[in-house]
Structure 1
Amino acid sequence: MNKTDRLLAIMLELQHKEIVRAEDLAALFEMNVRTIYRDIQALSEAGVPVIGAPGTGYSLIEGYFLPPISFTVQEAVSLLIGTDFIEQQFDESYRVGAQAARKKIETILPKNIRNETSQVSKTMRLLISDREVMHSKEKEYLEKIRQAILDKRKICFHYVKKIADSEGNRHSVRTAAPYGLVLIQGSWMLVARCDMRQDIRHFRLSRMTQLINLEEQFELPAHFDLREYTPPDDRNLRVLLRFNHDIADKVKESNYHYIEGMEEHQDGLHVVLRVHQLDELLQWVLSWGASVIVLEPESFKNRILEEAQKMLKRY
């Protein structure tokens, strides 16, 4: 830690605690006490109102806060919840950064705001479902891809598609220029220009293996902005389902990303979905058991029937 960073850290410690001993600061920053004395002197000469009490320790004059930024309770809670989110959904380096940011935010808050923020924070909790928990491999890949984006270097990885292609293949090796990362419903998605397809493609990190960063560099197109990027919608297959009334609320709460529209009818909840391939819906539809029926298209009705007959044979 250089001197500038140490001086800032000492100020944060002084602001966070009423009294701080030089010996405690020396132990915290792994410095000798004489260095801490010189740092305190440097802060005083820079205009920071440090008060020293012999045999007791150092403190700041009441009312002095650093940095000169004030937060409302709502703003502070928003920032702290944000650090929770980063800790849960990002890789290790950002997790550590989020923890450090939380400490700094809590430190710079005036006592009355800090107390109120603490009370409000205790009434809120950010939880993620089991399916949203990132495995260590995904965290490792997230960090590698972030670095590749910053360095503008291509990556290579093995990829398993959810649905097999026309030749029955699901596995492939891809080389791609990573443009950005998007978190969708708890899953990280890479937006990249695939060398094989010569176009922008989307890849789930959870379906990647053997990812490596290459030396080959790429140039991000001047017109590309991830914040404004909208992938083309080529879901051309329309599916109509009817759900029983008693599970209608559960279907609405599922937030299934293929759902295009819903409408209550006398015979049940009618749900319209659009997909690339019908098999993308197979597992989701089957998960509702006898509480759902396929109205359209006929080919999907037959696909469900075929799968149900296979299940019956197993039992």
Structure 2
Amino acid sequence: MNKTERLLAIVMELQRSKLLTADELAETLGVSARTIYRDMQALSEAGVPVIGETGSGYSLMEGYFLPPISFSVEEAVSLLLGAEFIEKRFDPAFRHSARSSRRKIEAILSGPIRQETNRIQGSIRLLQKDETVTMTEKVNLGIIREAMLESKKIRFTYHKRVAESDGNRVTARTVSPFGLAHDEQNGWLLLAFCDLREDIRHFRVSRISDLTVTQDTFQAPDNFNLQSYRPKDTRSIWVRAIFNPEITDKVEEANHYYMEAAESKEDGYHVAFRVRQPEELLSWILGWGADVVVTEPESFKNRVREEIEKMKERY
């Protein structure tokens, strides 16, 4: 990165972060703090309104913005794909903003860059789930997002895939929504403090129904940070199974979330799972038919047998 590129990068970082120290800028740009001091002097001499606050860092005078900048093909494709992802996976408000952003980006691209960007973008496709499920998630996402902005609790009916210890799969929940996360296997997940469980819980947005915003407000804990948050691992039950060696590659590709270890042996592909309840694996195990045998625990082996007997009665 030459000096001109570095000066532009400094201004962009200050526009994005508002206030940064010389050490923070130096670490981001891979230079020394002394270099940053010289760059700040150069920016000031060039008329960029940089404000230095002793003990705090550098910032830009409020209202100062860089003029429109140009994008490389790779940068343009990255931004347009990101906008497409948001357009497909977020609620209507964000979908509208993403579509508007995409049009603005396309409008400032030069002719050759736009042609090359269209060519590359045309060779990449973002697949999405069934539209009915996706639309349900989008509606829920919009309501949840508004509730988070207003710091209001939400109430909904939650449909669990596996029944609780009391046998119920459907429960009414009132929660304080702390954040949203997207997982390729589970889709959108709501992280919230659940009044019923008196702890932070995860809820798949697609399993939420009858969602409403209450008038009760909440305040997230000062020490809660969505980016660094890691859920408690409560999986304590081990399930082991042996798969037909001929489908080893398929099992590996499936890459089930609960898989902890796997090893190919003479008698087959041995896989160990760690779960909260073995029932969480039942449908997935049955989906492999005769190509898998559960070896432990014995209680889960019996549960698989019971389900097979029920299936035989239907046929």
Shorter-chain TM range is 0.7 to 0.9
In structure 2, the partner of 1:139 is 138
In structure 2, the partner of 1:159 is 158
**1:190, distance to aligned residue in structure 2 (A):** 0.8
Deviations 1:123-163 (A, max 9, x none): 21111244x86343322111000000011011111222222
AA aligned to 2:172 is V
Question: Normalization by structure 1: what TM-score?
Answer: 0.75
Rounded Cα–Cα distance in structure 2 between residues aligned with 1:312 and 1:134: 31
Secondary structure in 1 aligned to 2:249? helix
Deviations 1:61-104 (A, max 9, x none): xxxxx943222211111111111211211111111111111111
Rounded Cα–Cα distance in structure 1 between residues aligned with 2:243 and 2:199: 38
Structure 1 gaps, min length 5:
1-65
Taking a change above 3 Å as real, the CA distance of residues 129 and 135 of structure 1, as seen in their structure-2 partners, is closer
RMSD: 1.7
Rounded Cα–Cα distance in structure 2 between residues aligned with 1:222 and 1:113: 45
Rounded Cα–Cα distance in structure 1 between residues aligned with 2:165 and 2:254: 30
Rounded Cα–Cα distance in structure 2 between residues aligned with 1:155 and 1:128: 27
**1:313, distance to aligned residue in structure 2 (A):** 1.9
CA contact (8 A) 2:264 2:270 kept: yes
Rounded Cα–Cα distance in structure 1 between residues aligned with 2:296 and 2:70: 57
CA contact (8 A) 1:67 1:108 kept: no
CA contact (8 A) 2:89 2:134 kept: no
AA aligned to 1:163 is V
Rounded Cα–Cα distance in structure 2 between residues aligned with 1:82 and 1:136: 19
In structure 2, the partner of 1:252 is 252
Aligned: 1:212 with 2:212: yes
**1:172, distance to aligned residue in structure 2 (A):** 1.9
Deviations 1:212-266 (A, max 9, x none): 1111111111110111110010100111111112221111111321111222222
CA contact (8 A) 1:89 1:134 kept: no
170-179 vs 280-289, greater mean Cα deviation: 170-179
In structure 2, the partner of 1:181 is 180
Rounded Cα–Cα distance in structure 1 between residues aligned with 2:269 and 2:73: 42
In structure 1, the partner of 2:267 is 267
Secondary structure in 1 aligned to 2:239? strand
Aligned: 1:121 with 2:121: yes
In structure 2, the partner of 1:238 is 238
Rounded Cα–Cα distance in structure 1 between residues aligned with 2:182 and 2:287: 25
Aligned residues between the structures: 249
Larger Rg: 1
Secondary structure in 1 aligned to 2:75? helix
Secondary structure in 2 aligned to 1:85? helix
Rounded Cα–Cα distance in structure 1 between residues aligned with 2:271 and 2:138: 36
Deviations 1:15-72 (A, max 9, x none): xxxxxxxxxxxxxxxxxxxxxxxxxxxxxxxxxxxxxxxxxxxxxxxxxxx9432222
Structure 2 gaps, min length 5:
1-65
Secondary structure in 2 aligned to 1:134? helix
Alignment of 1:1-315 (within 5 A): 67-130=67-130, 134-185=133-184, 187-315=187-315
Deviations 1:194-222 (A, max 9, x none): 11111111111222221111111111111
Rounded Cα–Cα distance in structure 2 between residues aligned with 1:292 and 1:225: 41
AA aligned to 2:237 is L
Rounded Cα–Cα distance in structure 1 between residues aligned with 2:313 and 2:173: 39
Rounded Cα–Cα distance in structure 1 between residues aligned with 2:228 and 2:296: 34
CA contact (8 A) 2:151 2:217 kept: yes
Fraction of identical pairs, as percent? 50
Taking a change above 3 Å as real, the CA distance of residues 135 and 76 of structure 1, as seen in their structure-2 partners, is closer
CA contact (8 A) 1:156 1:211 kept: yes
Secondary structure in 1 aligned to 2:94? helix
Secondary structure in 2 aligned to 1:196? coil
AA aligned to 1:165 is E
Deviations 1:257-297 (A, max 9, x none): 11112222222221111110011100000001001111222
Taking a change above 3 Å as real, the CA distance of residues 230 and 304 of structure 1, as seen in their structure-2 partners, is same
Taking a change above 3 Å as real, the CA distance of residues 136 and 121 of structure 1, as seen in their structure-2 partners, is closer
AA aligned to 2:139 is E
Rounded Cα–Cα distance in structure 2 between residues aligned with 1:271 and 1:128: 30
CA contact (8 A) 2:151 2:218 kept: yes
